[in-house]
């Protein structure tokens, strides 16, 4: 399939260990990142504690010590899942849209959150995401509250919930202005999260209120007022699910706010019709031809992250069809077998790596 863009984090092993820069770029492009680490002997690459931002209260994000038990998605590309996702786009007639850059997708199996397995099509493509980046405002509010600079009283929590579940623009603008534009941009770009990273083609960005007001600052790379890439949105949900955003307790509260979506279109429409009983924690966005959806989905003992960004008048239907296809992948017997194999392999690797300090994005360096 043409124009399939994997994450630069998967292509550039140098982000994990500087020694990787001496390895073949062509090899990195054609194989699974996890396999590349094993073949090149970099799977045990260790890093000293990162301390460049020790005096910066925003860039030094507090994370529960148990976060060291989790990897991050840049290490988690999976060949089987990647092939299945590409085949599914062909089957449902969306491969051409992806090749034209009209569709960008990420899928992560987190049934075992310590062993996430990811696939993406145009995963680092930045697109206008409408209301989806309101999840960034949610993070900013909880982060500022933890710092003691904002009171998340009952009224504020109700505003945040309406902002997420009903996509209230008035509440989004109110909470954004309470968090502060500069503060939120600093949180998103902080070393602890890197949910917007210029070296990775951007990510989550909120540079304009959700109101008839001028932009504060558009995305520096793409001039978008409300931007996202599937990969960084998937990272947001993975960090949320593993308790690495602000604190585990705050992650539970934010996830609850993401539940019970009031707007039943796109992902929710597809699941309601074809996969009743699915539990979905979700934020979507719509503006003109731009359609975005993102979610953690739980059903029948399986759990996954799905993200899709589309630029087409048919985008809403695309996403409703796509989520059903992604659900089929996650529940496919071969995927379940693959999941168990990877979990078993990961358990053995942990027994070897347990004394070591390893670098993970989204958490401070620490012993596994």
pLDDT band at 343; cut points 50, 70, 90: confident
What gap in Å lies between CA 202 and CA 228, rounded to an integer?
Answer: 8
Task: Please state which CATH class domain 8-367 belongs to.
Answer: alpha beta
Q: Encoding tokens for residue 84?
A: 């299945």
**Could you report the per-residue pLDDT of 115-128, keeping only the tens digit for each?**
999 999 999 999 99
pLDDT at 39 over 90: no
Q: Could you please report the per-residue DSSP string of 167-236?
A: --HHHHHHHHHHH-HHHHHHHHHSTTT-SEEGGGTEE-EE-S-SSSS--S---TTT--SEEE-HHHHHHH
pLDDT at 130: 98
Write the burial class of residue 140 (CB in 10 Å: 0-12 exposed, 13-18 middle, 19+ buried): buried
Which DSSP symbol is given to 316?
H
pLDDT band at 28; cut points 50, 70, 90: very low
pLDDT band at 349; cut points 50, 70, 90: low
**Could you report the per-residue pLDDT of 209-260, keeping only the tens digit for each?**
999 999 999 999 999 999 999 999 999 999 999 999 999 999 999 999 999 9
**Could you report the per-residue pLDDT of 53-65, keeping only the tens digit for each?**
334 445 445 444 4
108 and 76 Cβ atoms separated by less than 8 Å: yes
For residue 360, what is the enclosing H or E element? none
Give the global pTM. 0.80
């Amino acid at each position: 399939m043409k124009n399939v863009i994997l994450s630069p984090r998967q292509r550039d092993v140098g982000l994990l260990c500087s020694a990787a820069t001496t390895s073949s770029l062509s090899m990195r492009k054609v194989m699974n990142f996890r396999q590349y680490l094993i073949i090149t002997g970099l799977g045990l690459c260790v890093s000293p504690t990162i301390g460049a931002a020790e005096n910066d209260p925003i860039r030094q994000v507090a994370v529960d010590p148990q976060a060291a038990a989790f990897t991050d998605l840049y290490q988690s590309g999976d060949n089987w899942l990647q092939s299945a996702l590409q085949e599914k786009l062909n089957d449902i007639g969306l491969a051409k849209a992806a090749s034209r850059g009209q569709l960008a997708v990420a899928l992560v199996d987190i049934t075992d959150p310590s062993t996430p397995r990811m696939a993406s099509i145009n995963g680092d493509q930045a697109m206008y995401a409408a209301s989806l980046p309101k999840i960034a405002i949610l993070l900013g509010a909880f982060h500022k509250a933890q710092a003691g600079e904002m009171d998340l009283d009952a009224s504020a929590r109700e505003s945040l919930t309406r902002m997420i579940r009903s996509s209230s623009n008035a509440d989004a603008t109110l909470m954004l202005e309470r968090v502060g534009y500069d503060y939120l941009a600093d949180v998103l770009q902080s070393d602890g999260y890197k949910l917007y990273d210029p070296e990775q083609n951007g990510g989550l960005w909120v540079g304009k209120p959700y109101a008839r007001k001028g932009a504060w600052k558009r995305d520096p790379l793409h001039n978008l007022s409300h931007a996202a890439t599937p990969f960084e949105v998937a990272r947001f949900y993975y960090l949320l699910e593993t308790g690495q955003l602000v604190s585990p307790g705050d992650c539970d509260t934010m996830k609850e706010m993401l539940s019970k979506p009031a707007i039943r279109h796109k992902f929710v429409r597809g699941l309601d019709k074809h996969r009743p009983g699915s539990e979905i924690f979700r934020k979507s966005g719509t503006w003109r031809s731009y359609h975005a959806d993102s979610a953690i989905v739980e059903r029948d003992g399986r759990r996954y992250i799905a993200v899709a960004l589309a630029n087409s008048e048919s985008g809403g239907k695309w996403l409703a069809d796509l989520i059903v296809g992604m659900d089929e992948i996650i529940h496919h017997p071969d995927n379940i077998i693959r999941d168990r194999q990877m979990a078993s392999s990961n358990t053995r690797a942990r027994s070897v790596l347990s004394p070591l300090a390893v670098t993970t994005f989204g958490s401070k360096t620490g012993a596994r």
